[in-house]
Amino acid sequence: MAQPRVKRSELSTPPEFAGDPIVWAAWLYYEERMTQEEVAERLGVSRASVVNFLQEARDRNIVTIAVASRHLQSVQIARELSRRYELNSCVVIPQGSDELPIYERIGRAGARLLLDILEPNDVLGVSWGRTVLSLSAELAEAKMPGVTVVQIAGSAIGTKEFSPELCTTNIAYRIGGRCVNLHAPGIVSRPDVKKLFMQETSLVEQFRLIRSCTKVLFGVANLSDASTALRSGYMTPEKIKPYVKRGAIAVMSGRFLDAEGHPVLGALDEQMIGLTLDEIAQIPERICVAGGVEKIPAIRSVLRGGYATILVTDEPTARALVDADD
Query: Between 195 and 13, whose confidence is greater?
Result: 195
Same domain as 166, residue 22? no
Same domain as 15, residue 147? no
Question: CA-CA distances (angstroms) from residue 61 to 149, 218, 242, 247?
Answer: 49, 46, 65, 59
Domain boundary among 36, 59, 82: 59
Contact 268, 187 (CB under 8 A): yes
Give the amino acid at 38: E
Same domain as 153, residue 54? no
220-264 confidence digits (pLDDT tens): 999 886 576 666 666 778 888 999 999 999 999 999 999 999 999
Same domain as 186, residue 125? yes
Domain boundary among 21, 37, 59: 59
Same domain as 93, residue 49? no
Contact 177, 168 (CB under 8 A): no
Same domain as 189, residue 314? yes
CATH label of the domain that carries residue 268: 3.40.50.1360
Integer-rounded Cα Rg, in Å, for the chain is 25
Same domain as 96, residue 29? no
- Structural domain includes residue 1: no
- Structural domain includes residue 137: yes
- Structural domain includes residue 3: no
DSSP structure string for 141-180:
P---TT-EEEE-B-B-S--TTS-HHHHHHHHHHHHT-EEE
| Pick from 158, 122, 154: nearest CA to 255 | 154
Same domain as 262, residue 133? yes
Q: Is the pLDDT reported for residue 6 higher than 60?
A: no
Range of the domain at 25: 8-59
At how many degrees (to 10) do helices 201-210 and 191-199 cross?
90
- CA–CA separation, 114 and 171 (whole Å): 10
Same domain as 161, residue 110? yes
Same domain as 256, residue 146? yes
Model confidence band, residue 269 (pLDDT cutoffs 50, 70, 90): very high
248-252 β-sheet, strand order: 221-222, 248-252, 255-258, 263-264
Domain boundary among 19, 39, 59: 59
- Structural domain includes residue 64: no
- CA–CA separation, 108 and 102 (whole Å): 10
Contact 320, 293 (CB under 8 A): yes
Q: What percentage of the chain reaches a pLDDT higher than 90? A: 66
88-142 confidence digits (pLDDT tens): 999 999 876 567 899 999 999 999 999 999 999 999 999 988 999 999 999 999 9
> Is the pTM here over 0.85, yes or no?
no
The dihedrals phi and psi of 304, each to the nearest 5 degrees, come to -65, -35
Q: Is the pLDDT reported for residue 12 higher than 90?
A: no
- Structural domain includes residue 191: yes
- Domain count for the chain, please give it: 2
Same domain as 206, residue 76? yes
Whole-number pLDDT of residue 250: 95
Same domain as 221, residue 302? yes
- Structural domain includes residue 250: yes
Rounded to the nearest integer, the mean pLDDT of the chain is: 88
- Structural domain includes residue 233: yes
Whole-number pLDDT of residue 326: 55
62-88 confidence digits (pLDDT tens): 887 766 656 667 888 998 999 999 999
- CA–CA separation, 25 and 51 (whole Å): 9
β-bridge pairing 285-289 and 221-222: unpaired
Q: Which residues contact 142 (CB under 8 A, 6 or more apart)?
A: 115, 174, 175, 176
- CA–CA separation, 128 and 275 (whole Å): 12
At how many degrees (to 10) do helices 47-59 and 36-43 cross?
100
